[in-house]
Structure 1
Amino acid sequence: MAAQSPLQMLDARRSVPSKQLGEPGPDNPALMRMLESAVRVPDHGKLVPFRFIRIAGDARLALGEKLVERTLQLDPQAPDAVVEKDRQRFSYAPTVIAVVARLTPDHKVPEQEQLLSAGSVCFALLQAAQACGFGAQWLTGWMAYDEVIADVLGLEAHEKIVGFIHIGTPRLEAPERDRPDAAALLSDWQPHD
């Protein structure tokens, strides 16, 4: 197989559904290599407005049980299918990285820019995982925005989940999907008198 150019590698990026990610997951050196690439994002002010939480092994199942508790707290009549979906959310991929935005309020760098920097880490981590031979998917879901789950994960008041990056070995090749036409999205600005 011929080596791919950097642009071909970017064009080959696909999200692999978390249910299709299995063992093996990245070992610690591979994960650290991915994270080293992921942190090379634009970061106005050098605030490093992000951090990582690894969810692996039995912790994935324990988090699923916490999701079930919260689901039933929010809706005691939640259907069994909803409860089971929440129980299993983190059980498929062997490694899940929660990317946390650490926002510094009232800073000269607007919070929006800090949040975008953290979001860029999510995408960079997807690319790094694929470059290391793994599949990955960026998911959020209701739990990314829930204050109780944020507390369960140990987030502080100024922190937010921007994504759960599920990483593992793909059980199938992710199909290509329709992509937007970049030319149709481009316009040229011209000054008006």
Structure 2
Amino acid sequence: MDALELLLNRRSMAKLEAPAPEGKALENIIRAGLRAPDHANLTPWRFVIAQGSGLHKLSDILVKAAIADNNDEASVAKMKSAPFRAPMVITIIARVTPHEKVPAFEQHLSAGCAVQAMQMAAVAQGFQGIWRSGNLMFHSEVRNAFGLEGDDQVVGFLYLGTPEGTTMKVPERELNKFVEFL
């Protein structure tokens, strides 16, 4: 698949199964994330990979946060099972370095670009993924579990695996609804 075709047909896929990327494929995914735009070469990213027992640890983190917020049993159960929707979840963290020319917001965007690049690298190698977020990525229990400080922020959870079933076609969008010229 060429790069333009990959970008024009990007689609998240929630139904993922084993195998997850490993070896050179996983290395390519991480390297793609490291190529995200990076003003002043701050490398404002951290990638925490959960698979196998790591998925259980991520589940425990999410459950602890849900319980701290007094969520009902159904919500806690949903958080407990969330990491097991795929054989691998990469938590992408914006690791912010104070800098006079590069505000925290820009470093958060850079980490978001890393997520996109990583997902595209996975798809280019025959895997699939979905970038998930939600209120818990801002929760103090989650921040503490990942050792976040100051303006550091989880920017998303990238679920990766092998597509289960076929990928739906990307809907066409009318460009004139999204583009204007000055």
Same fold by TM (over 0.5)? Answer: yes
Does the alignment pair 1:134 with 2:131? no
* DSSP 3-state at the match of 1:127: helix
- Taking the TM superposition and a 5 Å limit, the aligned residue runs for 1:36-185 are 36-75=31-70, 78-185=71-178
What SS class does the counterpart of residue 84 from structure 2 fall into? coil
| 8 Å contact from structure 2 (residues 17, 163) kept in 1 | yes
Partner of 2:2: 5
| Secondary structure of residue in 1 paired with 2:131 | strand
Secondary structure of the equivalent of 1:91?
A: helix
Shift of 1:174: 2.6
Instruction: Say whether the 8 Å CA contact 1:61–1:88 is kept in structure 2.
Output: no
Higher alpha-carbon Rg? 1
Partner-residue secondary structure (3-state), 1:175:
coil
Residue 113 (structure 1) shift = 1.7
d(CA) in 2 for partners of 1:6, 1:141: 29
For the Cα contact (< 8 Å) 1:68–1:87, is it kept in 2? yes
Give 1:116 shift.
1.2
Q: What TM-score do you get using the length of structure 2 for normalisation? A: 0.91
Distance apart, 1:37 and its partner CA: 1.6
Q: Which runs of 5+ in 2 are unaligned?
A: none
Moved more, 53-62 or 128-137: 53-62
Q: In structure 1, list runs of 5 or more residues that go unmatched.
A: none
Identity %: 32
Deviates more, 1:114-123 or 1:175-184: 175-184
CA distance in 2, matches of 1:123, 1:186: 21
Cα RMSD of the aligned pairs, angstroms, is 1.7
| Structure 1 ranges of 4+ moved more than 4 A | none
Distance 1:181 1:153 in 2: 41
Change (3 A) 1:63 1:80: same
**1:12-48 Cα shifts (integer Å, max 9, x gaps):** 221011xx11110011332111111222121111111
The letter of the residue matching 1:145 is F
Which SS does the other structure have where 1:96 is aligned?
Answer: strand
CA contact (8 A) 1:25 1:167 kept: yes
